[in-house]
Structure 1
Amino acid sequence: MRLATFNILHGRSTVDDLVDVDRFARAVADLGADVLALQEVDRNQRRSGHVDLAEVAAEAMGAVDHRFAATIDRRGAGGRAQYGVALLSRFPVHEWRVLPLPRRPWWRPLPRGNDVRRPRWRLDEPRTALAAVVVTPQGPLTVVATHLSFLDGWGEHQLDHLAAGLADAPRPLVVLGDMNLRSEIPAAVTGWSPLVVARSYPVAHPTLQIDHVLADGSVRPTSPGRSVDTGLSDHRALVVDVEIEPLG
């Protein structure tokens, strides 16, 4: 089965700076994922045409189950405008779970016109993880989608918090997402195995791997994972084909 993670930048292309929902749907379909984790997902946002991008992606990939978890939720004249992460599956989902992640205060100036107000403490953008126990043809698999903070040291703290929160989750387990952590750091923090080693950012000429797929338990890649330029976003998607190894 194929796992993928993709920070979609609300469906925007950095080439033409446009959100084309049909182009986004084609990009998702072309990944061929059985289970897909998405980050920076809009729902009813003006900048992405007031559509539900998780729903668009689910239809495009033929998902039988999916869930969206909002980290930002604002009410306006057009209703609730939301932003967050999503997890989509071509296989049935037995159980869903949302795990909020700790936020860090940080000291930053706030702009006002051409002036800058006195710096003050603000909380980092809310972050969360969305977990599902997926009933695959090879057996149950816990899959987690997340998007961690870019603030120095805080992504590691959030990932350590997430690992502790998943201690009782059924194994095998796979965590996918934009972790804003370079290369070997996520595996070092968790002790879990990386399933993809491929640079994913920035999209045109990637120099960093900040998107990751980590496994705990009897999951192994059947071929090398890869990063994919979908024509959208400032990130490449990561794709890997895996199998659940039989016990004993």
Structure 2
Amino acid sequence: MRLATFNTLHGAALDGTVDVERFARAVAHLDADVLALQEVERDSPRSGRADLVAVAAEALRAEHRHLSPTLHGVGGAWVRAARPGSGVRRVRGVASYGIGIVSRFPVTRWSRLELDRMPWRSRVRRRAPGAATGAARLVPFRVVPDEPRAALAAAVTTPWGPLTVVTTHTTSRPEFTAEQLRSFVRSCAGLPRPLVLLGDLNLRAPEPAEITGFASLADVLTHPSDRPVRQIDHVLADARPGGARVRALGPATAVDTGLSDHRAVVVDVVVDPPTLRGA
């Protein structure tokens, strides 16, 4: 089956224009059986008030889809979409922004995990004003809070057995990205395996694989889309010892869709059955 991940930049091209039909054609070209999406919107004026996850599902002729918002509102006036313990409430007509998954295979359960947020107060080591040398001291400073981050997990029933597919979009604040990913991995330890994690992790390869302990299924440059020099979009796989595992059938591909500042990542995989005891 084919897995793909795509940070869509709300369906915009590099010139800022959004054409929903162009977005649909780009998604159809990926021909993914399971597609993870980041930076997707619903009811937003800047993306023509389209439900981009629904558009992607229709383009792939996929019956199963879910948008998990992290923000509600409009650009410049976003508010947190989820409240701890209460989930996400859809407000019709109010723009939503977040992550999503589209699947051609049945999804028996959707679940959401909230990622740790960067502290409002941080500390940094600074020298006295105007001093180029000398001892530095730790001083507190305020930082603008990062936007809320979440992960969406789908329990997918494939022809080769169950598969947990997770997508997330970790913070772009480099001083906190790795720690946020570490915390996320701990929080998803109870999810069924085999598991694949797809998304924009804002960390360069091979750091995500080293942090998670998962196997990387994609080694391609993805950002920026016009002249990529780094890989920050990843496909990682995890399995229980002796259990079924996800394996790439060949090299992954970074697809320039003509949209977004990220290239989409596509990889064909197979789910190997559990290892027989004594084999």
Q: TM-score, normalised by structure 1?
A: 0.91
Residue 122 of structure 1 and its aligned partner are, at CA, apart by 2.9
Counterpart amino acid of 1:99? L
Question: How far does the alpha carbon of each residue in 1:20-42 deviate from its partner, in whole angstroms, 9 at most, with x for none?
Answer: 00000000000010000000001
Q: Which residue of 1 aligns with 2:162?
A: 140
Equivalent position amino acid for 2:11 in 1:
G
Match of 2:267 in 1: 240
- Inter-partner Cα distance in structure 1 for 2:105 and 2:36: 14
What CA distance in whole angstroms lies between the structure 1 residues aligned with 2:161 and 2:188? 19
User: Which residue number in structure 1 is paired with residue 6 of structure 2?
Assistant: 6
1:107-162 residue CA offsets vs partner (Å, 9 max, x unmatched):
79xxxxxxxxxx84432111000001100011100000100001123221121111
Secondary structure, counterpart of 1:157 in structure 2: helix
Single out whichever of 67-76 and 53-62 deviates more from structure 2.
Answer: 67-76
- Measured in 2, the distance between the counterparts of 1:120 and 1:91 equals 46
Which aligned pairs between 1:89-108 and structure 2 lie closer than 5 A? Answer: 89-105=103-119
Q: 1:62 Cα shift?
A: 1.1
Aligned 1:164-243 pairs, distance under 5 A? 164-217=186-239, 218-243=245-270
Match of 2:70 in 1: 71
Contact 1:105 1:122 in 2 (8 A): no
Quote the RMSD (CA, aligned, Å). 1.7
State the secondary structure of the residue aligned to 1:130: strand
Amino acid at match of 2:267: V
Give, in whole Å, the separation in 1 of the partners of 2:175 and 2:62: 35
Matched length: 236
Residue 160, structure 1, aligned to residue 159, structure 2: no
Structure (1 or 2) with the greater strand fraction: 1
Quote the offset at 1:73 in angstroms. 1.1
SS in 1 for 2:73: strand
Distance in structure 2 (CA, Å) of the matches to 1:152 and 1:93: 34
1:203-226 per-position Cα deviation (integer Å, ceiling 9, x unaligned): 011000000000002110011111
Task: Give the secondary structure class of the aligned counterpart of 1:123.
Answer: coil
Structure 2 residue matching 1:122: 3-state secondary structure = coil
SS at match of 2:165: strand
Q: Which runs of 5+ in 1 are unaligned?
A: 109-118
Corresponding residue number in structure 1 for 2:99: 85
Please list, as runs of the form range in 1=range in 2, the aligned pairs for 1:112-127 lying within 5 A after superposition.
Answer: 120-127=142-149
What is the distance in 1 between the residues matched to 2:153 and 2:103? 12
Identity %: 53
The normalised TM-score by structure 2 is 0.81
Unaligned runs of 5+ in 2: 78-91, 123-140, 240-244
Offset of 1:5 from its aligned partner? 0.2
Show CA shifts across 1:25-80 (max 9, x none): 0000000100000000011111111111111111111111111010101289x931
**Which residue does 1:115 correspond to in 2?**
none
- Aligned residue for 1:47? 46
